[in-house]
Amino acid sequence: MFKLFTRLPRRLASLAGVLLLAGTAITLSGCVVRAGFAAPPPPPPPAVYVAPPPAPASVAPAPAVDAEVQASEAPPALPVYEQPACPVEGYLWAPGYWAFGPGGYYWVPGTWVAPPRVGFLWTPGYWGFVGAVYVWHAGYWGPHVGFYGGVHYGFGYGGVGFAGGRWVGNSFAYNQTVTNVNVTVVHNTYNETVVNNTTINRVSYNGGAGGIAATPTPQERMAAQEPHVAATAAQTQHVRLAASNPALLARNNGGRPSIAATPRPSAFNAPGAVGAHGAAPRSQHAQPALAHANNPNGAAGGQGHGKPQPVKAKATKPHPKPKPEEAKHEPDVAQR
């Protein structure tokens, strides 16, 4: 009996240990079971593409200006006109040219324009005959003047390069022998004789029947590889206004636009704007008091690089009709 009571605590202790171990096992097994059946977190919602709202029907994309365009017929001959005086020191000359639109060819007046940066020069665009069409190659700004089809635009653009001025440091110097500058406004000038080695005519395109047979020089090919800048915003607006002016359509002006050149971009009615020789007179304003002849051969058939001569403004009263023997024939030559 005594032995039974002495063994009972041991058995109870053993039983308690077994129960403790069993409880621990059950607890651990419960954790394992709960961990094994835990649901994974939900995936993020897929991205939803939201298309931009359509443009209103009344808003049309802006038409490309001076982009590469094609025409089935050759552009007209370049008109003969005078260059307005440079209005601001630092402005560069951009020659006029024939552009093409839905109404046919229209004249983009030559103008003085601010360059996009110091040291850049303007390479004019040109029409070139490619295959069976005439393709317009847009002009650009760059450190050197590139190929512009050999077209003699005048006023320093004699078909190859540019002789109307040069950059001297951060200032532009103007060659007075081929450009019209007002020395009271422009002080950085020089005089340098220009010798033209190309045929001087009024042809406005390269290649094809009757076109100019010119190819890029090695220097012009190198210039084409340099960094370029497209026409400035002022030039783009200038072209847009020309395209919307019916008087500048070749079919309306017969190749002699009444607005052939302007002192600033888009200044079509400015006092310094000039018309082509033989164009219908404009009543908005008189001709400028000082102009530079845009005639490469000059009045006597020479090189025509004389200094600008004062020209009297038009009188307000009508002129009497000239006598037959006093009538003069317009020179069939291109710009200087």
Question: What distance in Å separates the CA atoms of residue 158 and residue 151, rounded to the nearest whole number?
Answer: 7
Tell me, what DSSP letter sits at residue 183?
T
Question: What distance in Å separates the CA atoms of residue 336 and residue 333, rounded to the nearest whole number?
Answer: 9
Q: Are 239 and 65 in contact (CB under 8 A)?
A: yes
Question: What distance in Å separates the CA atoms of residue 237 and residue 239, rounded to the nearest whole number?
Answer: 5
Our CA angle for 195, 199, 204, nearest 5°, is 115
Look-up of token digits 């006597």: 300
Q: Give me the pLDDT at residue 165, please.
A: 97
* Residue 164 clears pLDDT 50, i.e. is over it: yes
At 175, list the tokens.
Answer: 């060659």
Q: Are 175 and 167 in contact (CB under 8 A)?
A: no
* Residue 318 clears pLDDT 50, i.e. is over it: no
pLDDT tens, residue by residue, 299-312: 333 333 333 333 33
pLDDT band per the 50, 70, 90 thresholds, residue 118: very high
Look-up of token digits 């931009």: 52
pLDDT tens, residue by residue, 250-265: 999 999 999 999 999 9
